[in-house]
Amino acid sequence: MREKITSIHNQRVKDWKKLQTKKGRKKSHTYLLDGWHLVLEASHSQQKLLTLIGVADELDRHADIVALFDQVFEVTPAIMKDIVDSETPQGIAAVVELPNDHELPADRLHGAWLFLDRIQDPGNVGTMVRTADAAGFRGVVASDQTADFFNPKVVRSMQGSQFHLDLVAGDLKKWIADFKAAGLPVYGSELNPQAKNFRDVTPGPDFALIMGNEGHGMDQSLLQETTDNLYIPMPGQAESLNVAVSAGILMFQLNQG
C-alpha cells in the first residue's frame, strides 16, 4: 500500500524532519537512512524496517525493496529534500529502529573496541566507525559529548557500518575499568613522544583504543587510567594528524586480523 503526500505541512513530514535532531530520534526511537545503498544494507541486516519514503520514480524502479516495507509513502522531491539533511537527496529514505542501548551482550569485553572521547565532528565520528568496521573491530563506545551516532551526517559517513558492529553511548571511565578488571589492555592516544611508539605494540584480540577530542586531545583523567599511551612518530613538519586518519593508522596496526 503506497500512500501519497504532497503537502510539506503534513504531520508525517514534520515527524520525519524531527529525526534530524537527537531529541526527535530518542523520542520515537527511530532514525533515518538516506539513499538506496543504506536501505539495502539495512534490509540485509537484523535491522527492523519501519517506513519507506520515496519519490515516485525511485519507488517504481525498485519494487522488490519496496515490498519489504509495510508502510510506503510517495512524496514530492521538495518534501524529500526537506526531510533528509543533505545537499544531494537520493530520492529514497527509510525510517528504521535505533539499536537498543540496554541490550549490551554479556561477552562485550571480547574483541577490539574503539572508545570516542568527545569527538565533535560528525564526519570524523562516521569515518571512524566505518574504519573500525573495516579493521574488524567489535564495537564503538561514544562518550557524552561525542556527536550522536544517528545524526544524519554521521549516518552518511558510516556508510552502513552501523549494521556490522555494536554502537554504544557509554561512560568511558566505566568501560576502561571493566577492561582493566578483566586484565585487558586499554590504549590511549596522544601527541607525546614520552608515549609508546604505536609500532611497538601488538595486543591480543581483546583490547580498547581511545581517540580524543579534535582540538584538545584526550581527557587527562582518562589518560591516567590507560594501560599504555600510543603516539605516531611524525617525520614531517605538520603538528598533528586529523583524528580519523590517526584512528585508521592505529586501528590497522593494532588489529591485523
Residues that bind a second copy (CB under 8 A): 123, 127, 130-137, 157, 159-161, 164-165, 199, 232-242, 244-249, 252, 255-257
Least distance to a second copy from the beta carbon of 157, Å? 8
Residues β-bridged to residue 5: 75
> Is the Cβ of residue 7 or residue 240 nearer to a second copy in the bound state?
240
Least distance to a second copy from the beta carbon of 50, Å? 23
> Is the Cβ of residue 58 or residue 121 nearer to a second copy in the bound state?
121
Question: E strands within the chain?
Answer: 2-5, 30-34, 49-54, 71-75, 92-97, 112-117, 139-142, 166-169, 186-189, 196-197, 207-212, 228-231
Q: Which three cell numbers stand for residue 16?
A: 520525519
Question: What does the DSSP assignment read for 33-93?
Answer: EESHHHHHHHHTSSPPEEEEEE-HHHHHHTHHHHTT-SEEEEE-HHHHHHHS--SS--SEE
> Is the Cβ of residue 165 or residue 186 nearer to a second copy in the bound state?
165
What does the alpha-carbon distance between residue 171 and residue 193 come to, in Å, rounded to a whole number?
28
Least distance to a second copy from the beta carbon of 228, Å? 19
Least distance to a second copy from the beta carbon of 219, Å? 23
Least distance to a second copy from the beta carbon of 204, Å? 14
The CA-based angle 239-241-247, given to 5 degrees, is 145
What does the alpha-carbon distance between residue 169 and residue 29 come to, in Å, rounded to a whole number?
14
> Is the Cβ of residue 136 or residue 185 nearer to a second copy in the bound state?
136
**DSSP 8-class letter at 217:** B
> Is the Cβ of residue 69 or residue 231 nearer to a second copy in the bound state?
231
Contact 158, 129 (CB under 8 A): yes
> Is the Cβ of residue 192 or residue 240 nearer to a second copy in the bound state?
240
Least distance to a second copy from the beta carbon of 126, Å? 9
